[in-house]
Amino acid sequence: MADADRRRIAYVLPVYNEEENIGVFHAALVEATKARPDLDFEFVYVDDGSRDASLERLVELRGLDSRVSVVQFSRNFGHQLAVTAGLDLVARAGDADAVIVMDTDLQDPPRVSLEMIERWEDGVDVVYAQRRTRKDTPFKRATAWGFYWVLDRLASIEIPRNVGDFRLMDARVVAEVARYREHDRFLRGIVAHVGFRQEALLFDRDERHAGETGYPLRKMLNFAASGILGFSTTPLKMISRFGFAISAFSLLLGCYVLYVRLFRPDESVPGWAFLGVGMFMLSGIQLIMMGVIGSYLGRVYVEAQDRPLYTLAMVARDASPDGSAGP
Ligand code: UDP
Ligand code: MG
């Protein structure tokens, strides 16, 4: 079909109850991609167990446009897994040179994805869309700000702020992301963890075209927890810090009791001080011990995530005797 040196871009498009948006979205996307007749495009729609007619719309689209692929989940697995399934599909096929992930509610403008392609052609491996403005409620903005504040402080790697999953990834990044198999997924963190040359592209996020958000507060909180817990074991370590603080307090109290006993023979030690020493000391020791268990648990957790140890960007060495290059 396409000749060999044409580059191929695959779009991964998660869909959950978007029947009113799909038609408009696809038309807008196809229109935008017409600006690049030199590239081949594939549109991979992943239906995340929609309860409306989204799937029928997608199958119709496929009937009209053979570049459309459709994957259907058996139930709603959530946005992060829908995107993962699309990425896996493209990684397995191995024929795309770059992948663009975007929402199908027209909040991520298709023309921005074309700008991403230009940046990628300049040699950037990951181009992530960063919101210059967001048309969200003050509540959502405030919670998002708080979330990134905490994440910045706790996470072991730097995860950019005000960035969703709207991004372009070079094929080698997609292949790496496919090696991260943790169940509780925070994709933007995983992509940051993979490395390579990553740059932000500023854009103004639009309002949802129709329908309603598939991310109610409960899902947002779960998602925030995956981000923090997936990239940090600091909360576990905080237990022992707290334990040390309480132990220090009991030590001070102990000094006070001793002082009264030794140097003020005519006064008696108040009962609360005596009890306090024991109580604070015991609970401090308990917390420190729990923190010790927490540190081991943190290690078990990191091992259980079973992430790749490192990612090579390049290997320059003479071919091994069996002809394969490098380790
Ligand atoms: N989505 C999905 N599964 C879900 C929720 C959402 O695949 O369980 C898709 C949805 O169709 C959209 C994208 O993920 O393309 C972003 O979802 P949404 O617009 O609801 O989130 P928001 O923009 O409000 O954060
Ligand atoms: Mg949206």
pLDDT tens-place string over residues 85-143: 999 999 999 899 999 999 999 889 999 999 999 999 999 999 999 988 777 778 888 88
Closest CA to 243 of 196, 288, 297: 288
Residue among 22, 77, 105 whose CB has most ligand 1 atoms within 8 A, to mutate = 105
Distance 103 CA to ligand 2 centre (A): 6
- Three-state DSSP at 196 gives coil
Instruction: Measure 58 CA to ligand 1 centroid, in angstroms.
Output: 16
Lookup: tokens for 55:
């799937």
- Which ligand ends up closest to the CA of 72? 1
Q: Is the CB of 191 under 6 A from ligand 1?
A: no
Kindly tell me the burial class for residue 237, based on how many C-beta atoms sit within 10 Å of its own C-beta (0-12, 13-18, 19 or more): middle
Compute, in angstroms, the gap from residue 65 CA to the centroid of ligand 1. Answer: 24
Task: Give how far Cα 167 sits from Cα of 85, 139, 203, Å.
Answer: 16, 25, 12
Question: Is the pLDDT score of 326 beyond 60?
Answer: no
Q: Is the CB of 187 under 6 A from ligand 1?
A: no
Q: Is the CB of 165 under 6 A from ligand 1?
A: no
The response to whether residue 73 sits with its C-beta less than 6 Å from ligand 1 reads no
Q: For ligand 1, say whether the CB of 100 is within 6 Å of any of its atoms.
A: no
Helix 19-33 with 54-64: angle, nearest 10 deg: 30
DSSP H helices, the chain, are 19-33, 54-64, 79-93, 110-121, 138-154, 171-177, 187-194, 217-230, 234-263, 271-305
Atom of ligand 1 nearest to the CA of 103: 15
pLDDT band, very low/low/confident/very high, at 213 (cuts 50, 70, 90):
confident
Which pTM was predicted? 0.82
Give the sheet arrangement for strand 198-204, strand by strand. Answer: 68-72, 40-47, 8-15, 98-101, 163-170, 126-133, 198-204
Proximal ligand: closest to the CA of 219: 1
Q: Is the CB of 214 under 6 A from ligand 1?
A: yes
Each residue's pLDDT tens digit, 149-179: 888 888 878 888 888 899 999 999 999 999 9
Looking at the CA of 212, which ligand is closest? 1
Q: What is the number of the ligand 1 atom nearest to the C-alpha of 15?
A: 11
Q: Is 14 in the pocket of ligand 1 (CB under 6 A)?
A: yes
| Residue 155 pLDDT | 82
Within 10 A of 307 (CB to CB), how many other CB atoms are there?
Answer: 16
State which ligand 1 atom lies nearest to the alpha carbon of 213.
20
Beta-strand relationship, 40-47 and 68-72 = parallel
Q: What is the pLDDT of residues 32-59, one digit of tens each?
A: 999 999 999 999 999 999 999 999 999 9
**Looking at this protein, which amino acid is placed at residue 26?**
H
What's the CA dihedral at 160, 164, 168, 174 to 10 degrees? 80
Q: Is residue 86 within 6 Å of ligand 1 at its C-beta? A: no
pLDDT at 235: 84
